[in-house]
Structure 1
Amino acid sequence: MKIVLVGAGSAQFGYGMLGDIFTSKTLAGSEITLLDINDKALDSVFRTAKAFIEQHALKYSVHATTDRKVAFKNADFIISSIEVGNRFQLWDEDWKIPLQYGVHQVYGENGGPGGVFHSLRIGRVILEIVKDAVEICPDAWIFNFSNPMTSICTTVNRAYPEAKFVGMCHEIGWLGRWLPRMLNMKLEDLHFRAAGLNHFSCMLELTDRKTGKDLYPEVLKKAEAFFEREPGYSDLLDEYRRTGNLDAAEKFEKGHSDKKSSYIWADRHLVQFMLKNYRLLPITTDSHFGEYISWAWDVADHRGILDFYDVYKIMLTQELRHDIKLETAERVVPIIDGILNDSGYEEAAVNVQNNGLLEDLPSWIAVEVPAIINKDGVNGIKMPNIPKGYLSLLRSYTSVYDLTAEAIIHGKKDYVIQAMLANPVVHQASQIEAMVDRMIDQQQKWLGYLK
């Protein structure tokens, strides 16, 4: 097998994914190609990987290149995690400039105007990557870790429907942290299914694997007491301010904490609201879930959101020693193993084209659903009987993705303006065109293709 890591110069992604691959018995003997546009960062990861393979006598070969066409030749699996430009400078602009033009955003990464601008920058670059893959290694599976996930996957599916493109996100891992402690049960005894759009997903089913008992009523009963003092990012930032220490890991497994929060329902005021009004448990926190909802600004934990952003910035910019560890931190390697071994296991969350998996959403939208993994690949599981109230929230955002995809593919500014006007987060119209023009001028390198 040949595996290509796109964006491998990022120490967090490169070292983390190498550790994941090295734990796989199925992939032993594979060729790994590291690809990045930053040759200095790439060389550092390459030298570390080569030394690690020699030190541990692993049956892998590793190569590095800045040439995408060379990297993709004969590739079987492509794993991509990229960003463009100065991540946090652009993120600040995505958040600040719409605010100046009168748009309140809960967060500026994936939803709202900030999410649209983020999509417009990175989506164009990812289409170029997928174009090369389709031409050079058309049978390769492409796994994407970049955000905004739903926007990217929807756009790629529309432009290159033949590509075997799957979006991967670890927010579903929060359920593994919450549910066992909430219910006093082992994670392996719980079977849950969630569905929706990426970062905008709720748990729909929860059963006891041994007895088949529906455990969702227990969650609704116990959630209030559990989440009231569950630690959040504000507690993490407080600890960093006291000690100067911050865990730099951001993994699928969220870990456990026996500490009590200094804040009530930290990061989870929207979770509380959804439990009360929709009888559903979101799989993520306010900073993500609130990006897509018109009334989220009124409900969300704003301190938690600001503190999350600061924690995330510290996490990705602090000077730390990154090491390759023989452990599984993300879910993509188990999926690759499952495809190669025709295992038929159920993966908790993937982002794939809908095509009837969520019947009341458009067929072209990328949805986040569980999937069966076998020799045929990643097969999304149909999720019937989704509550109507929740569906109405999901539907209200799908048109934004439709118009954003059209803007990326065709380079039309009119579609950007229309995507803003369709966005449930936007509550005024007179300044939208001026806001879009200002952002294009500000980020001309990335948005200048919009005419």
Structure 2
Amino acid sequence: MTAPKIAMIGAGSTVFAKNLLGDILSFPELGGADIRLFDINQERLDVTEQVAHRVATAVGARPTVSATTSREQALDGADFVINMIQVGGYQPATVTDFEVPKQYGLRQTIADTLGIGGIMRALRTVPVLADMSRDMERLCPDALHMNYVNPMAMNVWGLARLSPRIKTVGLCHSVQHTAEELAKDLGIPVEEIDYLCAGINHMAFYLKFEHQGQSLYPRLMELAESGKVPEWNRVRYEMLRRLGYFVTESSEHFSEYVPYFIKRGRDDLIEKFNVPLDEYPRRCVSQIGGWEDLRVKLQNPNEPLEVKRSVEYGSLIIHSMVTGQPRVVYGNVMNSPVQHDGTAGHGKLISNLPDECSVEVPCLVDRQGIQPTRIGRIPPQLAGLMQTNVNVQALTVEALVTGNREHIYHAAMLDPHTSAELDLDQIWALTTDLLAQHGDFIPQELQAAD
């Protein structure tokens, strides 16, 4: 068995890289993998390289590990490309995405998936991913690209339009994390629960959630109606009451995908549903503040290094494609998938969502790669809610593909949360201001007009 060549793009995300490396190298069949670490931050790259060797020692693996600031060198001949970059970083990009909207009265929690923050993140991220994909077309055209970067749906969709030759699957952990949370709420071991989930990233719903053949929805609904739900999860349990199904992404995320919880002049809703405004900046500040202590700990050979399997799908996909062991994972792919030979697929995966959008569905993985499951129709109220998000994604991707700046404004105008807080003049002015503030992080043809 040939050792797989795995390129990790954005490997300076040391903790996430450590977790993925632990997952990969814990498989005996992958212990001799050729690991290529790439980042533009030399200091963080050096730390991850040292951590990679420590992880290998901890699990008894003997990989080949290299670190480089040359993306081409990392990609050359790769079989798998794991992407975990953040274009613009916390400073200046994320700060801009939060602070400028505040000047207009627009408040956010995470701002990386949808909303004005998600739109701006897509505008600065998709072009970088497309540029990387063009490198892949030259250097490793048959590699599987596993994208962990948000905004997931817009990134997957944008790459399908701009670089259809490269096989991309978007990977998230919201499906498996939420299943664990609900199992804990119900007092049932998660491994005993059977579920089927489908939708769009961060707005997929459990179409089936069962224990020993019995639906758990009556118990979840009883919990929702009682009001005795975890205080950090009030938004999602409220949506369960209204829709009849439970959504995969966290309450803080979900609160800004809809117009119901963060509204101008309604701070009572913020308190009632415990919406943590500015949550993502707080996390970033905490992580940045603790980086130096963490770096010292990770590099200290005398400090125990804990390596345990995470719930991420990346290593499972690699293992299944290398060994042929079949597995089911949840992946983000295009709703009308294109075959590996470039021909059209066999109909839509979710029949009552648009042909051209990114969906999150169960996928079989084996030596043949990622094989998405056809779901058919989902409940119409779920499809209708998803469509409000798909509209924003579609217009943002259209702006990126065509270079038509007007579609950025159209995306912001149709965003559920943005339109719940701002009027049209404010939306137009905010969008112009953000494009100007982001400057060269945005493609030149989409930058603010002089």
The TM-score bracket by the shorter chain reads 0.7 to 0.9
Please give the alpha-carbon distance, in whole angstroms, between the structure 2 residues aligned to 1:269 and 1:448. 39
- 1:291 counterpart SS class: coil
Q: Is the CA contact 2:225–2:241 (under 8 Å) kept in the aligned structure 1?
A: no
1:247 matched to which residue of 2?
Answer: none
- Please state how far the C-alpha of 1:108 moved relative to its aligned partner: 2.2
Please give the alpha-carbon distance, in whole angstroms, between the structure 1 residues aligned to 2:249 and 2:54. 38
- Structure 1: 5+ residue stretches without partners: 231-265
1:75 matched to which residue of 2?
Answer: 78
1:422 matched to which residue of 2?
Answer: 414
Equivalenced residue count is 412
Change (3 A) 1:391 1:296: farther
One-letter amino acid of the structure 1 residue matched with residue 418 of structure 2: V
Q: Is 1:41 aligned to 2:34, yes or no?
A: no
One-letter amino acid of the structure 2 residue matched with residue 221 of structure 1: E
- Please state how far the C-alpha of 1:79 moved relative to its aligned partner: 0.6
2:323 matched to which residue of 1?
Answer: 341
One-letter amino acid of the structure 2 residue matched with residue 289 of structure 1: F
- Please state how far the C-alpha of 1:300 moved relative to its aligned partner: 5.4
Q: Is the CA contact 2:352–2:376 (under 8 Å) kept in the aligned structure 1?
A: no
Worse-matched range after superposition: 19-28 or 378-387: 378-387
Which deviations, in whole Å up to 9, do the C-alpha atoms of 1:382-416 show, x marking residues without a partner? 22342111111111221211111122233332221
Change (3 A) 1:372 1:441: same
- Please state how far the C-alpha of 1:335 moved relative to its aligned partner: 1.7
Which deviations, in whole Å up to 9, do the C-alpha atoms of 1:113-165 show, x marking residues without a partner? 11101111112111111221122101101111111111111111111122111
Which deviations, in whole Å up to 9, do the C-alpha atoms of 1:274-319 show, x marking residues without a partner? 1211111122222211222122325556754237436522452223
Please give the alpha-carbon distance, in whole angstroms, between the structure 2 residues aligned to 1:372 and 1:207. 21
TM-score by length of 2: 0.85
Please give the alpha-carbon distance, in whole angstroms, between the structure 1 residues aligned to 2:27 and 2:401. 37
Q: Is 1:175 aligned to 2:170, yes or no?
A: no
Which deviations, in whole Å up to 9, do the C-alpha atoms of 1:186-231 show, x marking residues without a partner? 22221112222111222111123xx433332232223445x7252x
Q: Is the CA contact 1:88–1:313 (under 8 Å) kept in the aligned structure 2?
A: no
Task: Give the counterpart of 1:188 among 167, 176, 191.
Answer: 191
Identity %: 28
Q: Is 1:321 aligned to 2:313, yes or no?
A: no
1:127 matched to which residue of 2?
Answer: 130
Task: Give the counterpart of 1:332 among 314, 321, 324.
Answer: 314
Q: Is the CA contact 2:96–2:438 (under 8 Å) kept in the aligned structure 1?
A: no
Which deviations, in whole Å up to 9, do the C-alpha atoms of 1:353-394 show, x marking residues without a partner? 111111111122111112211222122222234211111111
1:215 matched to which residue of 2?
Answer: 216
1:158 matched to which residue of 2?
Answer: 161
Please give the alpha-carbon distance, in whole angstroms, between the structure 1 residues aligned to 2:189 and 2:182. 9
1:370 matched to which residue of 2?
Answer: 362
TM-score by length of 1: 0.84
2:435 matched to which residue of 1?
Answer: 440
- Structure 2: 5+ residue stretches without partners: 264-268, 299-304, 337-347
Q: Is the CA contact 1:196–1:202 (under 8 Å) kept in the aligned structure 2?
A: yes
One-letter amino acid of the structure 1 residue matched with residue 280 of structure 2: Y
- 2:235 counterpart SS class: helix
One-letter amino acid of the structure 2 residue matched with residue 272 of structure 1: Y
Q: Is the CA contact 2:206–2:247 (under 8 Å) kept in the aligned structure 1?
A: yes
- Please state how far the C-alpha of 1:166 moved relative to its aligned partner: 0.9
Q: Is 1:18 aligned to 2:13, yes or no?
A: no
Please give the alpha-carbon distance, in whole angstroms, between the structure 2 residues aligned to 1:112 and 1:54. 43
- 1:142 counterpart SS class: strand
Task: Give the counterpart of 2:280 among 309, 326, 339.
Answer: 309
Please give the alpha-carbon distance, in whole angstroms, between the structure 2 residues aligned to 1:106 and 1:56. 38
Task: Give the counterpart of 2:352 among 360, 363, 366.
Answer: 360
One-letter amino acid of the structure 2 residue matched with residue 183 of structure 1: L
Please give the alpha-carbon distance, in whole angstroms, between the structure 2 residues aligned to 1:399 and 1:54. 48
Aligned residues: CA RMSD: 2.3
- 2:174 counterpart SS class: coil
2:87 matched to which residue of 1?
Answer: 84
Which deviations, in whole Å up to 9, do the C-alpha atoms of 1:44-101 show, x marking residues without a partner? 2223423554676522110111111111111000111011223154223212323433
Q: Is the CA contact 1:270–1:300 (under 8 Å) kept in the aligned structure 2?
A: no
Q: Is the CA contact 1:106–1:300 (under 8 Å) kept in the aligned structure 2?
A: no
1:387 matched to which residue of 2?
Answer: 379
One-letter amino acid of the structure 2 residue matched with residue 98 of structure 1: P
